[in-house]
Amino acid sequence: MSTRTNWITRAETAADIPAIRKINLGAFETAEEADLVDALRTDSAWIGDLSILSAGPDGNPVGYALLTRCHVDDTPALCLGPCAVLPEYQKTGAGSAAIRAALEAAAQAGEHFVIVLGHPSYYPRFGFTRASEYGIRLSIDVPDEALMALSLDSAQLPSGLVRYAAPFGI
């Protein structure tokens, strides 16, 4: 499986919650991200339609991408992450499929802006560019290139401080 067309993508249902936890436990070294997803699920930042998984032809979820509500100063935006793929399926397109599906669902929902803190070699392929160029910043020190932003439409990205949902602890 190497292209997006091989992956089924859809929003999570209650039945997917254990599989999503397994994906995050497998993809990351600690349970921090899996716990974060579970904490976000009960937070006001949670938008159910924007918790997206990718599954192979057998229907088993292997990839995951989450968008939750954040703000840039007072402007509503979305925060992308965690993004995770079961180790044995990494680099086969499952992550990209989930991320693209999440961004498309967000655009369809009328969302404008997405922020991501992550690998600067990975997220530009989805259109993300360096957030500092728009005056977008965090309250914590991170490598400048790791904070990226995307406008889902023609709206101009706002400048300001990214305020994450409380479970992120940022």
Ligand X SMILES: CC(C)(COP(=O)(O)OP(=O)(O)OC[C@H]1O[C@@H](n2cnc3c(N)ncnc32)[C@H](O)[C@@H]1OP(=O)(O)O)[C@@H](O)C(=O)NCCC(=O)NCCS
Residues within the interface to ligand X (CB under 6 A):
27-28, 63, 81-85, 90-96, 118-119, 121-122
Distances (CA, A) of 13 to 18, 23, 26, 48, 111: 10, 15, 20, 8, 21
Q: Which is nearer to ligand X, 85 or 152 (CB)?
A: 85
Q: Which is nearer to ligand X, 63 or 158 (CB)?
A: 63
Q: Nearest approach, Cβ of 37 to ligand X (angstroms)?
A: 11
Closest residue (Cβ) to ligand X?
A: 95
Q: Nearest approach, Cβ of 166 to ligand X (angstroms)?
A: 18
Phi-psi region of 93 (alpha: psi -120 to 50; beta: other; left: phi over 0): left
Q: Which is nearer to ligand X, 46 or 64 (CB)?
A: 64
Q: Nearest approach, Cβ of 85 to ligand X (angstroms)?
A: 4
- 110: Cα separation from own chain's centroid: 17
Cα angle at 16 between 13 and 18, to 5 degrees?
Answer: 140
DSSP, collapsed to helix, strand or coil, labels residue 148 as strand
Q: Which is nearer to ligand X, 119 or 133 (CB)?
A: 119
